[in-house]
Structure formats: structure tokens, C-alpha cells
């Protein structure tokens, strides 16, 4: 009795054959075996008929045709056929293609996330049928990507005559993120500022602060805290922030502060300390292993996945394309046993669990070593260099995720000279915890033992001239992080997308950073005018969410694809083609609409689409753009964060303003980042972080009107000034981070 196991990669053949033994034949499909044919309208290989999709598949290439012939012969000689393609949506789709191409009636689908004897035998013992919902999502993705790529490239990109070869659903949205950052960099104007500090002979350095921010009377100076995943330092961070003072915006003020420091005696105003706990980071998922390998090993995402694939095929790690932070219970138990033997102080009282991101496939596992006892030291001499380095990261991160939190002792000393305050911060690790395996803490900074009101001896006072820096370009790991955060693509697409952008010469890697080329910027500018919705991260994320709904059986894939093309993409292509002739000569040339596209939009079909979707992207609103006064267009949206089913966008080239519905005011408004500043809201106090004016901001909470103070620079509120928030209470304005603030009155109008 012969059993046939079909897998994807030939790299697994030897190990799986050893595990299964006699009576088994293991064959590899060499990855994808079939693809949509390049035939029919626009060479799509499928037809959209009503609410159905008729696909025409052919062998991927001559080699795939030979592989299929070999597999077909092996299947005829086998009594039972098992399909063990990769445990993800793509693997399920490949399994379906094998079933169709080989004429298999009832193949047994087996899934394992690690190539170990126990995992493989358990999977063989519990086979299932192919998951039709996952297959539907995989087929929908293939058709959707080809629909956008082929039609968009042929009818929008090629007529531009600027050297661009293609566009894509994920590719173009990712390029848009890079181009947005590049334009921010080009528009940035550096501003000078000064960082003022003093050094004391007692052995520490302190920085200028506008106020002392002493703790409230009666408040405990020491309290244990647990850091949440949101404020936890990123695992891949290796660069410490250089400490500096509150920003001083003029040389005169900086010189005045230095003179005060030199002329007035110094003494300790307050000493506060607290103990905090920092929780261990979760084990790796696809995006975080690419980020960590990029930051620590200088691996590109593509190279990281190649090395991880080799480790997986060798049976050393679990499957490397996953977005789940879950770990199998037996592995958690094995880590506890390992720690009890080698590091007993690091065994937590309760098993550590990490919260998965919304939409993550929790049925899968995170990336981890298959055996915790296979330490990096044991494998150091048997693995190639890059495999050994990546395995070391994966092993340490997985073990660290199950350890105790790190306990930190943080100290803050505030000193005073005249009317000026100075601050020094120190940090000591009291208990290393998980950082013995994964250290993402800044270096220890120990402050001397001092007493309140103790006089200090000034060693030096200085003001260092600096200037604000433009936003940083994204490295490949940081772009992966951004793609994950924006919902663009899925774990299996991050590395291929970046690779495609570089191959098309839309971006280039310069000193470790991705920089759009002139071609990439030109293409993005054209697409922003011609297909503005398609390249928006939110729009692409909505399509990914729809694919997830198909994968969970909540939506029919053929209905989704046909409606999406009929209601949005077909009309959008016609609109884009009509606009091409109006683009600058350097970007495009005049072109008439393609007959194939026009044929899809007969008067009847167009009317039906409008009736089915009254908020089609082409519908003009009655609201004038506040920037250029042209009428804005309605853009449909399913976002749960919005108060309406659409938002407004200006389609005038170079404007791009958007407005959202305010249910309370019953009108559309610009986003906060684009609204002009209200001088009447400014106070007479400066932001303690950046030196801009603090502004008053009213909001409603629990049905009551509230008031707070915040930094008036919108861009800063998302970054360095995000903690600057003073809430109005009985005793004035108070911040949980910065303490009390006494309001002296509104900002004078002549400033």
C-alpha cells in the first residue's frame, strides 16, 4: 500500500522521507504549478460574466508542465494522496491547483507548522478536506492582482510614456507611502535651536527644563508599573536617543541661561525614584522577524525570508509566514522546564500570553524554534553563518517572550540655579528578567547619591547649537512595519513587494534607506491624479479586509470581484484614461479610452452600477474645496471609525484635500493636520517639549464639555509632544506626565 505526500519545496524531501519511512513517496511541486493564462481581454486569463468569474489556468512554465506529468504518474500508483503544501492561504490554493491538475477525487489535506516527527505524524493522523473558503480567497487575490496590474499597467501606466513598466494593488500603495515621506523631506525647512546643559563636579550632567514638574504632595515616589505593549520599546530598536534639554529657540536666550547657570549657586530641588516593570516582547511574526533581522543583522526582508525558509525546511523553526503571536502549549511548558534548569529566577508565576493583533490568524503559531533545547550554541558549528545568526535571534526572542518582566529603577534629579531648573535622569536594571535573552533597554545611567537641598558645584555650563531634522526615510524593515500597521499586504507579500519596487527602479536603496527615484515619484504623482483612491493605504487595506472575509466564508469571492470591478475599477479606468490627455507633456500623452474598457461600461451597465452603489467614486458633491474652491467628490468608505459612509476628496491636481463628516456640527471638516491654526486658542505658555505655543482644545466626554491644553503643532502631537496634555481640573490644568501648569492668561495679540 503506497501513500503519496505532495509538498511544495524540494528542500523538505529528505527530512520528510526520513520521518515517514517505508511505504511513503514524497514529491515536491516546486511551488506554484498553475497560473492564469495570458489570454482573453487584456490577457487576464479570466472573464467577468455577471456575478461569476470564469478562469483559465495553464501550467506556470515548461518545467511546471514536466513536474505535473511526473506527479500525475505518481498519483496513479498511490493508494492515498496527501497534500501537505504550506499552512497558509497560498499553500491551500496550491493544494487546490494540484487536485485540479492531477484529477484527484478526494485528496487528504494535512497541515503542520514544523517539520518534526511528532508534528508531521500528528498531521498525518488527522487529515481534513481542502478548505474551500481559503481557496476562494487565494483565487480572488490572484484575479484581483492581475486585474489591477494588467489593466492598470496597460491602460494607465504605459500611455504615460515615462519609462514606468507596471502598477499593482499592493505595489502602488506601498510606493505612495515612500513618495509621501519623500515629499515631506523635500518640503522640510530646518529650524535652529539650542540644547543647554550643566555638568556638576559631583559626577552627573543635567539639562535645562522650563519648569520643575515636581510630584504632587502626598503622592508616592515609588510605585510599580507594568508597561503595556503600546508603550513598550520596539524589539528592533538598537539606537538610544541622545538626551537634550527643552529646546531653546534663540541664541540670546541660550546665552542668558548659560550666564545664569554660571552666576547663580546650584542646589538639589527634588529627588524622585520609582520602580517599573517592562514586560517581555512577543515572539516573532513575519513582519517583526524581518524588522529585527534588518536592524541587528542588516538582512533585507527578502534575504531574511530565504534564510528562514532554510531553517524551516531543516526542521529547526516553525513556519515563517505568520501574523500570530501564539505559542503551542507544549512549547511553553518546554521553555519553563528549560528555565527551571538553567535560569530558575526567570520563571514567571503564570504562563505568559501575548495579545495578537486584530485580524491575526490565531490558529497559527508564531515563529519559534522547534526544540528549545537546540540552543544556538549547540547548532553554531553545524549551520551556515547567516542561518546561525537568524536562528539565534528567533531562539532568544521565543525564550524571552516566556520570561519574567525586567524590573527597572528610574531616578530623576531636579536642580535649580536662580530661576532656572535642570534635570538629570538615571536608570538601573534591578532584575534583568527577559533582557538576559532579548535586551531592548537603553544602557544603565547611574546617578550619585544626593540629598534634597544639597548644594552642588558647577563644572561646566554650555549651549549646543542644533537644528531640527527632516523625517527619516524608511529602511526596508521599517517599511515592512509601516505596511503591517497600514494593513497593506499580508506576511507573504511584504518582501516580494519591496523587491518589485526595486526591480522596477521605482525606489533605490541608498545607505540603508529606501529612496524613490525620479521615475517612482513621477509615476506616483500621475497615479495620485489618475487613480487617487487605489493607491491610498486605507483603500488597499479595505480590499485586504474583504479577502479576509472571503477566507472566513463570510463573502462570495466571485460576487465581490465582479461588483468591485463594475462599481469602482471599470469606471475609474475610464476616468483615468480621459484625464491622461490633460497631464503635463513630461508625464503622459493623449490617448483614447481602450475599446475593451469602454465595452464594460455600456449605458445600461453604468446605470446599474450607479444604482447599486449611489456613492460611486465619480459622484460630485455640493461642497467646495476649502483650498481651491472646486467641487469635491464623494469617496465611499466602510471604515468603522468614520461617522458617514463616505468622505470628500478634491481631485484637482496638486490639491488633494480631504474632508470628513462631523456629526456634532453637521458639516464636513478638514482633518486636524490640515486645519489652519486658531490664534484665539493660543495660551501664553510654551510646549515643554518643542517650545511651540500651547493651545486650548475643547472636547466632550461623558456628555460634558471638557477643556485641555496641548501642543499647537499638529505634526508634533503625533510624535515627540504626544505626552503634552494638560487637563482642566479643580486646581487648574494638570498633566499625568508633566504635573501642574498655572495659566496666566491668553496669548497677547501683538505677539
* Three-state secondary structure call for residue 121: helix
Distances (CA, A) of 571 to 528, 579, 700: 16, 13, 41
What is the Cα 230 distance to its own chain's centre? Answer: 13
Neighbouring CB atoms inside 10 A of 171's CB total 24
By C-alpha distance, which of 234, 481, 486 is closest to 359? 486
158 burial (CB, 10 Å; 0-12 / 13-18 / 19+) is middle
Distance CA 679, CA 677 (A): 6
Contact 547, 492 (CB under 8 A): no
Contact 594, 626 (CB under 8 A): no
Per-residue exposure over 256-281, b if at least 16 CB sit within 10 Å of its own CB, e if not: ebbebbeeeebebbbbeebebbbbbb
Contact 516, 523 (CB under 8 A): no
Length of the chain measured in residues = 751
Of the candidates 82, 112, 312, 319, the residue annotated as catalytic is 319
Distance CA 240, CA 458 (A): 27
Distance CA 638, CA 580 (A): 29
Distance CA 742, CA 429 (A): 36
Contact 233, 276 (CB under 8 A): no
319 has catalytic annotation: yes
Per-residue exposure over 483-509, b if at least 16 CB sit within 10 Å of its own CB, e if not: bbebbbbbbbbbbebbebbbebebbee
Residue 432 φ then ψ, to 5°: -65, -40
- Give the residue numbers marked as catalytic: 319
Amino acid at each position: 500500500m503506497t501513500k503519496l505526500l505532495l509538498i511544495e519545496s524540494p528542500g523538505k524531501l529528505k527530512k520528510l522521507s526520513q520521518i515517514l519511512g517505508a511505504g511513503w513517496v514524497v514529491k515536491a511541486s516546486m511551488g506554484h504549478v498553475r497560473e492564469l493564462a495570458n489570454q482573453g481581454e487584456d490577457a487576464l486569463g479570466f472573464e467577468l460574466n455577471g456575478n461569476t468569474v470564469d478562469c483559465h489556468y495553464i501550467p506556470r512554465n515548461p518545467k511546471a508542465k514536466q513536474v505535473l506529468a511526473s506527479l500525475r504518474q505518481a498519483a496513479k500508483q498511490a493508494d492515498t494522496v496527501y497534500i501537505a503544501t504550506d499552512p497558509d492561504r497560498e499553500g491551500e490554493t496550491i493544494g487546490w491547483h494540484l487536485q485540479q491538475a492531477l484529477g484527484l477525487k478526494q485528496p487528504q489535506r494535512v497541515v503542520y507548522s514544523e517539520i518534526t516527527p511528532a508534528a508531521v505524524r500528528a498531521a498525518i493522523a488527522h487529515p481534513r478536506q481542502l478548505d474551500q473558503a481559503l481557496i476562494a480567497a487565494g483565487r480572488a487575490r490572484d484575479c484581483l492582482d492581475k486585474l489591477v496590474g494588467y489593466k492598470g499597467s496597460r491602460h494607465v501606466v504605459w500611455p504615460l510614456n515615462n519609462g514606468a513598466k507596471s502598477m499593482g494593488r499592493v505595489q502602488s500603495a506601498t510606493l505612495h507611502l515612500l513618495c509621501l515621506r519623500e515629499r515631506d523631506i523635500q518640503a522640510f525647512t530646518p529650524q535652529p535651536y539650542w540644547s543647554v546643559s550643566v555638568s556638576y563636579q559631583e559626577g552627573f550632567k543635567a539639562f535645562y527644563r522650563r519648569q520643575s514638574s515636581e510630584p504632587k504632595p502626598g503622592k508616592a515616589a515609588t510605585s510599580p508599573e507594568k508597561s503595556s505593549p503600546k508603550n513598550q520599546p520596539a524589539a528592533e530598536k538598537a539606537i538610544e536617543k541622545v538626551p537634550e534639554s527643552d529646546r531653546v529657540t534663540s541664541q540670546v536666550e541660550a546665552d542668558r541661561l548659560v550666564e545664569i547657570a554660571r552666576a547663580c549657586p546650584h542646589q538639589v530641588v527634588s529627588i524622585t525614584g520609582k520602580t517599573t516593570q517592562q514586560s517581555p516582547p512577543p515572539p516573532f511574526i513575519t513582519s517583526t522577524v524581518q524588522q529585527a533581522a534588518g536592524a541587528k543583522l542588516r538582512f533585507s526582508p527578502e534575504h531574511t525570508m530565504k534564510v528562514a525558509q532554510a531553517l524551516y525546511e531543516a526542521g529547526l523553526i516553525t513556519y515563517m509566514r505568520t501574523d500570530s503571536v501564539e505559542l503551542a502549549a507544549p512549547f511553553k511548558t518546554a521553555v519553563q522546564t528549560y528555565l527551571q534548569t538553567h535560569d530558575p529566577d526567570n520563571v514567571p508565576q503564570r504562563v505568559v500570553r501575548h495579545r495578537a493583533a486584530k485580524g491575526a490568524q490565531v490558529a497559527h503559531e508564531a515563529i519559534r524554534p522547534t526544540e528549545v533545547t537546540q540552543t544556538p550554541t549547540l547548532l553554531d558549528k553545524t549551520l551556515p553563518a547567516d542561518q546561525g545568526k537568524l536562528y539565534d535571534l528567533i531562539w532568544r526572542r521565543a525564550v524571552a517572550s516566556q520570561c519574567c518582566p525586567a524590573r527597572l529603577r528610574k531616578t530623576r534629579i531636579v536642580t535649580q540655579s536662580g530661576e532656572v531648573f535642570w534635570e538629570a535622569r538615571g536608570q538601573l536594571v534591578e532584575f534583568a528578567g527577559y533582557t538576559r535573552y532579548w535586551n531592548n533597554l537603553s544602557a544603565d545611567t547611574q546617578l550619585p547619591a544626593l540629598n534634597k537641598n544639597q548644594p552642588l558645584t558647577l563644572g561646566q555650563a554650555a549651549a549646543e547649537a542644533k537644528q531640527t531634522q527632516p523625517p527619516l526615510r524608511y529602511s526596508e524593515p521599517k517599511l515592512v512595519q509601516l505596511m503591517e500597521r497600514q494593513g497593506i499586504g499580508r506576511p507573504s507579500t511584504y518582501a516580494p513587494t519591496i523587491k518589485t519596487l526595486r526591480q522596477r527602479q521605482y525606489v533605490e536603496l541608498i545607505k540603508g534607506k529606501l529612496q524613490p527615484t525620479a521615475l517612482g515619484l513621477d509615476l506616483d504623482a500621475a497615479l495620485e491624479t489618475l487613480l487617487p483612491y487605489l493607491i491610498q493605504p486605507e483603500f488597499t487595506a479595505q480590499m485586504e479586509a474583504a479577502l479576509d472575509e472571503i477566507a472566513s466564508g463570510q463573502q462570495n469571492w466571485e460576487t465581490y470581484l465582479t461588483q468591485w470591478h463594475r462599481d469602482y475599477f471599470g469606471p475609474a479606468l475610464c476616468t483615468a484614461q480621459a484625464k491622461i490627455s490633460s497631464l503635463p507633456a513630461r508625464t503622459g500623452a493623449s490617448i483614447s479610452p481602450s475599446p475593451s474598457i469602454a465595452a464594460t461600461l455600456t449605458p445600461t451597465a453604468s446605470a446599474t452600477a450607479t444604482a447599486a452603489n449611489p456613492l460611486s467614486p465619480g459622484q460630485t458633491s455640493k461642497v467646495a474645496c476649502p483650498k481651491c474652491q472646486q467641487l469635491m467628490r464623494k469617496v465611499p468608505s466602510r471604515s468603522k471609525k468614520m461617522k458617514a459612509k463616505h468622505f470628500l476628496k478634491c481631485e484637482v491636481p496638486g490639491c488633494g484635500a480631504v474632508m470628513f463628516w462631523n456629526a456634532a456640527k453637521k458639516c464636513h471638516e478638514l482633518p486636524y493636520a490640515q486645519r489652519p491654526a486658531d490664534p484665539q486658542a493660543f495660551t501664553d505658555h510654551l510646549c515643554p517639549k518643542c517650545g511651540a505655543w500651547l493651545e486650548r482644545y475643547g472636547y466632550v466626554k461623558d456628555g460634558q464639555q471638557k477643556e485641555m491644553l496641548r501642543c499647537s503643532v499638529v505634526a508634533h502631537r503625533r510624535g515627540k509632544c504626544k505626552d503634552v496634555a494638560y487637563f482642566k481640573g479643580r486646581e487648574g490644568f494638570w498633566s499625568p506626565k508633566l504635573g501642574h501648569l498655572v495659566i496666566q492668561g491668553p496669548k497677547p495679540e501683538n505677539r
